Structure 1
């Protein structure tokens, strides 16, 4: 079933409710095929697996009797979130099927992970409010904005990476090989990165950044007990 996403309209879908009769259901899951989206927003108490495919869709893995997971499709953006009035104590598992994506926005403690390797030209990853992302990617350019005790773990490679991390967040990327890195870390951020050619930026307010590799150019300002360590 295809859900048309008109530019001027917002389509609200309650999984497990109004589309039950047309969804591709199995015993323990419900699947909804979608049109192309280029931006993905995940919120609330969700455990989301990204699955690389040649189509776009969402599969709810928990066979829930109440409609608590919702989709909001607007223009080219897909938002997946939980109806807060029906929030459960356990995480709700969802699979999102997609070939690629241009931006990921993960918020409110959601967790996103994937077993697949995604290939990007330029991708932007935003995490806030204790959210977590673990992915294997290959990209020409990767931007990450990590805040409020969030955690981003990447493996793979990119040519350029731009990192803004703050407020007790963590960036684990010692197995994410980058040629050029720009990093801005503040307020007790911890980061482990791999940069081969250049690294620039600033480290401040009790933040620690460990760099794997031998960057030729290293211009990083360290203030207010911020520290940068380059380890071969």
Structure 2
């Protein structure tokens, strides 16, 4: 009987250990944690702000210390990193229509009203990059699929996207002020040392005397010829 009890106890312990390992694996492989780990890896530190498209395996993160933006899809298996000054702006797309936007060098197009019965809410980030100019985060889709951690309604998804528009506008305004800041003040420079008198160039030089005409030169051969003719 004792052997059977010992065996049952061992089976119970093994089952509990396997359950704990399974729970730990599920916790570790949870979508949001995987995306945050990917953001931390590619940004070189903890992200200051992260937006996640729950159930779609996509996310975007900002690190203001390093001045970089990262986007990830396939639950962090693929990532791209941009400089923060490559962010052109962001757009809020509701049911295929741009309802609000904040773009560089353009006035912000504010959201007029919050759609309560939207079928799809997308936050689109625009970058100054030829190969990958934009990145879309689907925050809401009325497809009947429950996404853990995501917004409960379309209105809440629109509110979240609108907050990210305000954040993108603040980032663009800050970097525009940095680019248009005052010019750096140059330190005063000492005047050059005076040139010694002996090294100063002469402004006026005496002209050299012109050569005497050939007929005034002494010992001219022509004069000697004429003298010989006269003597003859």
TM-score range, shorter chain: under 0.3
Name whichever structure is richer in helix by fraction.
2
Q: TM-score, normalized by length of structure 1?
A: 0.22
Name whichever structure is richer in strand by fraction.
1
Q: TM-score, normalized by length of structure 2?
A: 0.22
Q: Which structure would you say has the larger Rg?
A: 2
